[in-house]
Structure 1
Amino acid sequence: MTLTSNVLVIVLVGVTKSLHSPMYFFLCHLSLSEILFTSNIVPNMLWLILVGGGKVSVTQCLSQFYILCIPTIAQCLLLAAMSFDRYVAICRPLHYATIMTFTHQLQLAASCWLLGFTLTFFVYIFLNKLEFCDLNTINHFYCDFVPLLQLSCSRTMVVVLVIAVETVPVLLSPFILIIVTYILIIRTILKIPSNTGRHKAFSTCSSHLIIVCMYYGTLSSIYIFQPGENSINVRKKPFCPIHTGDSID
């Protein structure tokens, strides 16, 4: 259902001329990132739940983590790009056509994906240098950052530092940009004299704002508000181990 709905969004935007606007262009990229995220995690996770566990090589585990992080970072940046689009549309309507050209849309989308690939690649390099000893059971549904670090018998301080440094441009900077743009948007909307105009302006931003709250709320609850080794057990029930097999040695 997830794959079908996201593919349907991309197809509808592509074939409907009235939807050929920057907001729907970025929405297609959000759907594309969701397709990549879902196809990477969900099939294997459902299989592990069905059979009660499974085996995966270290290379496959790191590859899954790499593909997991790319759409996660891209979605954060795409949401920021969409907020900038709403800011220009409402606060600078006379300059909207010249600012949000198709070339600029492509550049923004390409930058989001490029940063996703590049930043994740740095983390992948450091994770690939970790050594794994006797423990070979991943206490999670998939190969996430914290479960991988718990299996390593080498020093993980550098990897943790890289993650901490990348968190600022990946999570905080887009979120701050979204907050600032919506403050300016709300100030502009409140200056609109007619109730109809204010309602129309709010309606163009409400869906995007809901998505931002849901997405960043989920990321915060998983990676910020529940840090530590015990947070994994708190967030998931029942326990479903993934064994990395002999290749972990």
Structure 2
Amino acid sequence: MTRTSNASSPAVFILLGFSARPSLEPILFLLVSIFYVVSIVGNSIIILVSCMDVRLHTPMYFFLTNLSFLDISFITSIVPQLLVNLWGPQKTISYGGCVVQFYVSHWLGATECVLLAVMSYDRYAAICRPLHYTAIIHPQLCAGLAFISWFGGFITSMVGSTLTMLLPLCGKNHIDHFFCEMPLIMQLACVDTSLNELEMYLASFIFVVLPLGLILISYGHIARAVLKIKSAEGRRKAFNTCSSHVAVVSLFYGSIIFMYLQPAKSNSHEKGKFIALFYTVVTPMLNPLIYTLRNKDVKRALRHILLEKCCGFAVK
């Protein structure tokens, strides 16, 4: 039995994870390992290609580079500890490690919500205001919007996570999940958590619901603009411009809404674990695949780098 401190904050937390299904753990270990490697490699390729090919030095790929770096950071904050717990009988994480994990995951999750909204605005400007696009989405604005995304996520994480960390846990240290996160820590508190829940719902509205609303408004304008295009080829090009982002937004929000907009005392643990596994492991892996497979610019740039830079062939 794991020894814990008699203080309100335990020395370690026990992440129960999927321990109720021990036969599933080796399979999950293999799958998560593969997804992790593919995610790191895929997102690194997106960053490398976007930086090396001057034709991709555009606002769209600047934001995509931010998204790929964010995905690498997010999955790395959770998966190594998950793999350790899936591999061996020990299911523990230190108190400090748990605190870092929910600070970082909260920060990066909120940042991605805002960043996806920023990317939808970029697509809106590209399709609905094409003649003014370079004047609207200029480098200074791109840098400012990226900073707002990262800094806004950092601030909400500092506020929400700090309020959570201050809750007395009275020695409770069993978390029925595979990683540490704010709602899970709140469930262990031995005091009233109404204030924390109010802050969490407010943060969810600002960083989940509001960005989603902005995305829907942007794509409402985009859909109206696309319908006005008379040629089928023009509509196809406009659709291809947005299809990758729409797919990423659908994957991200399809899982995050279920995870974060439910009561902190929810009992749907098992279902929530698999949704969380999809959100934390599968989605960061799918993002670079979506942008690589559905984007001719990225495929052309990747081919250019592999053939011309590595093999010495000229690629047009």
Alignment TM-score, normalising by the size of structure 1: 0.91
SS in 1 for 2:97: helix
CA distance in 2, matches of 1:179, 1:77: 13
Q: How much has 1:142 moved relative to structure 2?
A: 0.6
Query: Of 188, 206, 209, which aligns to 1:169?
Result: 206
**Residue number in structure 2 paired with 1:179:** 216
Mapping of residues 87-236 of structure 1, within 5 Å: 87-224=124-261, 228-236=265-273
**Residue number in structure 2 paired with 1:58:** 95
Gaps of at least 5 residues in structure 2 are 1-36, 275-316
**Residue number in structure 2 paired with 1:73:** 110
Which one has more relative contact order, counting CA pairs under 8 Å at least 6 apart?
1
Q: How much has 1:97 moved relative to structure 2?
A: 0.7
Q: How much has 1:223 moved relative to structure 2?
A: 2.6
Q: Would the aligned equivalents of 1:76 and 1:171 in 2 still touch at CA under 8 Å?
A: yes
SS in 1 for 2:167: coil
**Residue number in structure 1 paired with 2:48:** 11
Q: Aligned partner of 2:144: which letter?
A: Q
Residue-by-residue CA offset, 1:111-143 (whole Å, 9 max, x unaligned): 100001001100122112110114221111010
Q: Would the aligned equivalents of 2:187 and 2:264 in 1 still touch at CA under 8 Å?
A: no
RMSD of equivalent CA atoms: 1.5
CA distance in 1, matches of 2:133, 2:248: 23
Count of residues paired in the alignment: 237
SS in 2 for 1:56: strand
CA distance in 1, matches of 2:261, 2:162: 23
Change (3 A) 1:145 1:128: closer
Same amino acid, percent of matched pairs: 36
Q: How much has 1:234 moved relative to structure 2?
A: 3.0
Residue-by-residue CA offset, 1:31-87 (whole Å, 9 max, x unaligned): 111011111100000111111333233332121100011111111111111110111
Q: Aligned partner of 1:213: which letter?
A: S
Instruction: Name whichever of 147-156 and 10-19 sits farther off.
Output: 147-156
Change (3 A) 1:229 1:189: closer
Q: Aligned partner of 2:118: which letter?
A: A
Q: Aligned partner of 1:50: which letter?
A: W
Q: How much has 1:226 moved relative to structure 2?
A: 7.9
Residue-by-residue CA offset, 1:212-246 (whole Å, 9 max, x unaligned): 11100010222336864322233337xxxxxxxxx
Change (3 A) 1:16 1:75: same
**Residue number in structure 2 paired with 1:44:** 81
Q: Aligned partner of 2:69: which letter?
A: L
Alignment TM-score, normalising by the size of structure 2: 0.72
CA distance in 2, matches of 1:165, 1:227: 13
Change (3 A) 1:126 1:71: same
CA distance in 1, matches of 2:209, 2:273: 26
CA distance in 2, matches of 1:70, 1:90: 31
CA distance in 2, matches of 1:224, 1:118: 20
Q: Aligned partner of 2:147: which letter?
A: A
Residue-by-residue CA offset, 1:177-212 (whole Å, 9 max, x unaligned): 110111111111111111111111111011111111
Q: Would the aligned equivalents of 1:74 and 1:115 in 2 still touch at CA under 8 Å?
A: yes
Q: Would the aligned equivalents of 1:30 and 1:78 in 2 still touch at CA under 8 Å?
A: yes
Q: Would the aligned equivalents of 1:83 and 1:181 in 2 still touch at CA under 8 Å?
A: yes
Q: Aligned partner of 2:189: which letter?
A: S
**Residue number in structure 1 paired with 2:312:** none
CA distance in 2, matches of 1:141, 1:132: 19
Residue-by-residue CA offset, 1:127-167 (whole Å, 9 max, x unaligned): 12110114221111010222211211122111111111111
Q: Would the aligned equivalents of 1:91 and 1:184 in 2 still touch at CA under 8 Å?
A: yes
Gaps of at least 5 residues in structure 1 are 238-249
**Residue number in structure 1 paired with 2:63:** 26
